[in-house]
Structure 1
Amino acid sequence: MKTVFRIIALTGLTLSMSSCFNSKKPNYQYMPNMYESTAYETYSESDAFKRGGVEAQTPVPGTIKRGYVPYEYPNTTAGLEAARAGLQSPLDTASIDLDRGGQLFGIYCAICHGEKGDGKGKLVKQEKFLGVPSYKDRAVTTGSVFHVETYGLNSMGSYANQLNQEERWQVAHYVMKLKGEL
């Protein structure tokens, strides 16, 4: 009985192996698209996108990247005035680190504004930039400093790419400390 079972199993295995044989195209492939992929011309039109063009898919309106916190004040003079009047720091007193704010100020701001915030940084002394204001003479608040760091003002560019939102708030608090010392 065992011999008959072995003969039947061997015959079935032989038939299943030989049934996949094709004399015109030997070597049966389980997933032929993995071995013989369709070649596409670079920058050719594709049906993968809705409009059929070569442009990438655009995100759904209203989406924001992960970790990004929207900032509702516009990059206008009115936005600056609104930030000066009403924007408050989300940091509580325990999370304000003036040492970290001072380090970031020294890296990004002191080259123009000076170590003391007096507007006499290295680039001003070398006359590369003129008219950098001293914090003593300015009506600045923590919110207005954050707004200017985010968007920039006059010759000063935005630092939103270099500093995240929490770091900009740390620098804004350090600027207010410097203003108090002047």
Structure 2
Amino acid sequence: MKRVIKYITVLVLVTGFMSCQKNSRPNYQYMPNMYEPVGYEAYQESDAFNNGIEAQIPAEGTIPRGDFMPYEFEDTNAGYDEAKATLTSPLDSIQIDYARGKELYDVYCGICHGAKGNGQGKLVQREKILGVPSYDDAGRAITTGSIYHVIYYGKNTMGSYANQLNEEERWQVTAYVEKLKAELEK
């Protein structure tokens, strides 16, 4: 008798589950936004404003939050020459940290320029890139401004490091490059 009750119970449960399922009827979605999220892009057109995309663009003349300061020299030869002649470091001798500058230099610059600034980095030694000059080349009169400008915008085959290094880090690297240049000239 117990066996018959077990079979009947299983049969009722299976029949109950099968009768609730209808493949012709769609299932209900609770919280459909969780299943089908709406993605928004920063510069997509928007119906919320009359001008469409204009709502997502920052107001003219604004500066982003954080430690960002606009760089007033242009990415031109004239801007390079002006930076070379007039740009000086805002860091005083107490704020310059050569150990930190060396760490940043080794990460971002040393692979091409070499640990000593002699233009013999790993990529040059393996002939992956050619023509990286030494900091003490006779024809190169590099200054604080020219170093910073090149880090900010890049020059020739060297790309910009403005996105990888913040302003203070760029000045630390600049100070370290000047130290390497002085050591090479000895």
TM tier relative to shorter chain: 0.7 to 0.9
Total equivalences in the alignment: 143
Structure 2 equivalent of residue 58 of structure 1:
57
Could you tell me which runs of 5 or more consecutive residues in structure 2 were left unpaired when the two chains were aligned. Answer: 1-30, 32-37
Q: 1:129 Cα shift?
A: 0.7
Shift of 1:74: 0.4
Cα deviation digits, residues 152-175 of structure 1 (max 9, x gap): 000000001110000000000100
Letter in 2 for 1:61: E
- Partner of 1:50, secondary structure, is coil
| Alignment-derived partner of residue 124 in structure 1 | 124
Q: What is the aligned partner in structure 1 of residue 88 from structure 2?
A: 88
CA–CA distance in structure 1, aligned partners of residues 105 and 39 of structure 2 = 47
Q: What is the match of residue 154 of structure 1?
A: 156
SS in 1 for 2:182: helix
User: Taking structure 1 as the reference length, what is the TM-score of the superposition?
Assistant: 0.73
Percent identity for Structure 1 against Structure 2: 63
Question: Structure 1, residues 31-72: CA drift from partner, whole Å, max 9, x if none?
Answer: xxxx9xxxxx98897541122x36752111111111210100
Aligned CA RMSD, in angstroms, stands at 2.3
- Quick one: structure 1 residues 42 and 139, their matched pair in 2 at CA, closer, same or farther if it must change by over 3 Å? closer
Contact 1:49 1:57 in 2 (8 A): no
Contact persistence 1:123–1:129 (CA under 8 A): yes
- Could you list the runs of 5+ residues in structure 1 that have no partner in the other structure? 1-34, 36-40
Tell me which structure has the larger Cα radius of gyration: 1
Question: Using the alignment, how far apart are the partners of 1:133 and 1:111 within structure 2?
Answer: 13
How does the TM-score come out when normalised to structure 2? Answer: 0.71
Tell me the residue number matched to 1:144: 146
In the alignment, the residues of structure 2 paired with residue 65 and residue 45 of structure 1 have an alpha-carbon distance, to the nearest angstrom, of 22
Instruction: Give, in whole Å, the separation in 1 of the partners of 2:145 and 2:45.
Output: 48
Q: Deviations over 1:122-153 (max 9, x none)?
A: 00011111000100012111111000000000
